[in-house]
Amino acid sequence: MALAHAGFALAITPYAEDLGLKPGTIVGGYHAHHDEADPALLLARLVEMGCAIAFPRVIKDQPLEFHHVPDGDVLEPGSFGIPEPLAHWPRAVPDVLLVPLLAFDAQGHRLGYGGGFYDRTLAALKVPAIGIAYAGQETDSIPHEAHDRTLDMVLTEQGIRRFR
């Protein structure tokens, strides 16, 4: 796994305009956990561009639930210690998902963290999936099955890779 570095969030932010997201797009974001690639500055730039950000809430064995964060409210640590919205905050259905990952390959297959939350969510929502990763997380091949959903693109500090 790649190690986190301070300049990553800054390095991916200039690519926000190249993602093709229009004002009003609801982006399913996430908060980086431990060494995950951090999309925080990218999310802030997407808000400046007119996108709305929704954050995931984990429900055991279910697709992720996304919620808008009311002004002035703060996410609370969830079951995995990752900041999450509260259940009563406004629900949202993302138009596109930013997806954390452990590894990806040149065909857009991704290796997640093993909980299946993003796999279930991608299957349920059927929206474009943008992996957020360090370039060093690319590997030759990721094992996959016919039902596995590939990423539409991945954004690294080296730029955007489109898979379709």
DSSP reduced 3-state for 47: helix
**Is residue 37 in some structural domain?**
no
Give the C-alpha distances (Å, rounded to integers) separating 123 from 17, 74, 94, 119, 147: 26, 29, 13, 6, 9
pLDDT digits (tens, 9 = 90+) for 26-85: 999 999 988 889 999 999 999 999 999 999 999 988 999 999 998 888 888 887 888 999
38 domain-assigned: no
Distances in whole angstroms, Cα of residue 118 to Cα of each of 11, 71, 83, 152: 25, 26, 16, 14
Does some domain include residue 108? yes
Q: How far apart are CA 65 and CA 54, in angstroms?
A: 9
pLDDT at 4 over 60: no
User: Residue 120: inside a domain, yes or no?
Assistant: yes
Distance separating alpha carbons of residues 4 and 27, to the nearest angstrom: 23
In this predicted structure, what is the pLDDT of residue 3?
43
pLDDT digits over 74-111, tens only? 888 887 888 999 999 999 999 999 999 999 999 999 99
Those residues with Cβ within 8 angstroms of residue 161's Cβ, 6 or more apart along the chain or in another chain:
106, 153, 154, 155
Q: Is residue 13 part of a domain?
A: yes
156 within some domain: yes
Rounded distance between C-alpha atoms, residue 54 and residue 31, angstroms = 11
Report how many domains make up the chain: 1
* Residue 79 maps to a domain: yes
CATH code assigned at 114? 3.40.50.10420
Evaluate if residue 24 carries a pLDDT over 50.
yes
Which domain range does residue 157 map to?
A: 8-27+43-162
Q: Is the pLDDT of residue 5 over 80?
A: no
Give residue for tokens 């406004």: 90
Q: In this structure, are strands 96-100 and 129-132 parallel, antiparallel, or unpaired?
A: parallel
Tens-digit pLDDT profile for residues 109-158:
999 887 889 999 999 999 999 999 999 999 999 998 877 889 999 999 99
Determine, yes or no, domain membership for 36: no
